[in-house]
Amino acid sequence: MSTVMARSDFARAINEVYGIITWVTIGIFVVVAAVLLYVIIRYRERDAERRPRQIRGHSLLEIGWTIAPALVLLIIAIPTIQIIFRTQSAARPAGALEVDVRGHQWWWEFRYPSLEIATANELHLPVGQTVYLKMEGPDVIHSFWVPRLGGKRDVIPGRINTLTFTPEAPGEYLGQCAEFCGISHANMRMRVIVHPRATWAAWVADQQAVPATAAAVADGAALFARSACVGCHTILGVSAGVIGPDLTHFGSRGTVAAGILPSTLDNVAAWVKDPQALKPGVKMPALGLTDEQARAVAAYLLSLK
Ligand SMILES: [Cu+2]
């Protein structure tokens, strides 16, 4: 979650402004500290009778210390305004990969209209390709923030905000909702996984396929299909709920519940049994499954790669 280890054009642009402000302020610090030191030593009290010459009203000095800060502000304003215009364009660049982002209390939904993929809490992107995020929040205001890839962008009900950047290095980048959005705001995390070109196509193909149900997890599959889960979750070929995250490829995700826990069998079973205990206020009810049923459903969900 570092803002100074930039891995996209957008994040580097922000760093440029940081850099300019840092060097300008270091320069000011050095000058002020040097003058201060000089005055402290040169005019220290040696003789109570001998006072330095007292000056009242010095127009040249006053004009000087009005113009100098104005110049400093100008030096900061010019690159800042340039970079605001460079990073805030709402137009979709040609050839950009479009992803629809929805911020929900308290999870992230990602849809790729051109690829017909839906996922949650893990945004997968190919390295070197410009991405165009179209963001909207169905409930309250959230803010999309992946510090190493770009600046914050508010996700607002009834309004589409956009964010454009080009990831520059493969890897996993952490993100977090950055606008207080209710009791589990701190539990609304996300990961951006930037793929090398070679693995991107394979990821897309995996996500587009409808996963088969293995015989070993048939009990869990049956339980899922006859429980209220189907009203809120989509699993392609099984259910079409849209209140919670799409679970078609849940087993391919590394975390559960918006990045708060690694998706191990124990964690997923605990989540399915009593989500409230792991995430206060969560919009998923406990459905009264037994431990054994919860483990069966968890094994089924984790098999959906
Ligand atoms: Cu939020």
**Ligand 1: centre distance to CA 9 (Å):** 25
Ligand 1 center to 142 CA (angstroms): 4
Report pLDDT digits (tens) over 173-202: 999 999 999 999 999 999 999 999 999 999
Please write the tens of the pLDDT for every residue from 14-62. Answer: 999 999 999 999 999 999 999 999 999 988 888 878 777 888 889 999 9
* Assigned CATH topology for domain 9-87: Helix Hairpins (1.10.287)
DSSP 3-state assignment of 8? strand
Q: Return the pLDDT at 201.
A: 95
Q: How far is ligand 1, taken at its centre, from the CA of residue 107, in Å?
A: 7
* Domain map (residue ranges) of the chain: 9-87, 215-303
Residue 258 tokens read as 């918006």
Pairwise CA distance, residues 17 & 35, whole Å: 27
Q: Give the rounded distance of the alpha carbon of 43 from its chain centre.
A: 53
pLDDT score recorded for residue 46? 84
Structure tokens at 53: 């010459």
Q: CATH number of the domain at 215-303, please?
A: 2.60.40.420
Residue 224 Cα to ligand 1 middle (Å): 28
Place of tokens 């189907």: 230
Q: Considering the chain, what percentage of its residues have pLDDT values greater than 90? A: 85
| CB burial readout 68-89, b (16+ within 10 A) else e | eeeeeeeeeeebbeebeeebee
- What does the pLDDT read at residue 214? 87
For residue 1, report the distance from its CA to the centre of ligand 1, in Å.
17
pTM of the model: 0.90
Do 9-87 and 215-303 show the same overall fold?
no
